[in-house]
Amino acid sequence: MTNDAVRVEGLSFSYGRTPVLRDVSLSIQRGCIACFTGPNGGGKSTLLRLILGLLKPQAGQISVLGTTPEAASMRIGYMPQQVQFDPRFPITVMQIVLMGRLRGNRPGFYSRQDRFIASTCLEEVDLANFANTPFSHLSGGQKQRVLIARALAVQPEMLLLDEPTAMVDNHIEARLLEQLRTLHARMTIVLVSHDMHFLQQLVQVGFHVNGTVQPAQQGCCHG
């Protein structure tokens, strides 16, 4: 088994004729907390989506958890930015977390075990009492935690978080930091964030993404 959670070699990607990433190579070791930072439009979220297999590279190769991004996606917990969701969608916290237990196109409802795992994940983010609360009734920080719980319900080997501290106050940020430190013992964590203050406390290896990728911070893991 390879020791790299993510390995990218000679990756290039463009939207139409607009190049976003050029000749990117990087590796993130298993068990590492890594972060992509950089200016808006620099390609951070695109790189994350390529790692998730939601986009296909025009050149180069990506290996995630020793396989292709598409094959690895079921072993990855992904927390998107909460702003992309319809705030009035009629859904409870538990129903969202259960989505982490979806297994392809298999017909039928969630099992008792799925519900148990989802409840455990809600406890882990201190939202056990909110299981039946509508998602629309939660604060920004609580919504972030629900999405983390959904990512954890996958029982992932790697957690990918897109702007986890966007739209949350300092108190929530501190709690999130604590939770990520706890989770780090069990899995690789890759973040996209603008928040340098947040990064310095947590991240072991950083990458500055702006069309190309440069190591920004070096710690126990190698960039």
Partner 1 sequence: MGDFFRAVIDPDLVFLRYALIMAVLASVAFGVVGTFVVARRISYIAGAIAHAILGGIGLAVYLNRVHGWLWLEPLHGALLAAIASALIMAWVRWLGTEREDSVIGAIWSVGMAVGLLFLALSPGYSNPTGYLFGNILLISKADLWLVFLLDIIVLTVALLFYPQLQAVCFDEEGARLRGVATHAFYALLLCLTGVTIVLLVSVVGIVLVVALLTLPAAIAGQFASTFGRMMAGSCLLCLTFSIGGLGLSYNLDWPTGPAIILLAGSVYLVVFLGRRIANSLFALKRSVKS
Could you tell me how many residues of this chain bind partner 1 (CB under 8 A)?
A: 32
Site for partner 1 in 2-41 (CB under 8 A): none
DSSP 121: H
Spell out where the chain has E strands: 4-15, 18-29, 33-37, 59-64, 76-79, 158-162, 188-192, 205-210, 212-217
Contact with partner 1 (CB under 8 A): which of 5, 24, 154, 216? 154
190 burial level (CB within 10 Å; 0-12, 13-18, 19+): buried
| Cβ-contact 192, 44 below 8 angstroms | yes
Contact with partner 1 (CB under 8 A): which of 18, 105, 112, 185? 105
Q: Cα(205)–Cα(32) distance, rounded to whole angstroms?
A: 8
Site for partner 1 in 156-215 (CB under 8 A): none
Nearer to partner 1, 156 or 206 (CB): 156
Beta-bridge partner residues of 204: none
Contact with partner 1 (CB under 8 A): which of 17, 40, 108, 185? 108
Contact with partner 1 (CB under 8 A): which of 9, 22, 99, 124? 99
Nearer to partner 1, 147 or 203 (CB): 147
Collapsed DSSP state (helix, strand, coil) of residue 123: helix
Site for partner 1 in 54-83 (CB under 8 A): 54, 73-74, 76, 78, 80
Site for partner 1 in 120-149 (CB under 8 A): 134
The candidate with the shortest Cα–Cα distance to 213, out of 55, 57, 13, 43, is 43
- Name the site residues for partner 1 (rule: CB under 8 A): 52-54, 73-74, 76, 78, 80, 84-86, 88-92, 95-96, 98-100, 102-105, 107-110, 134, 150, 154
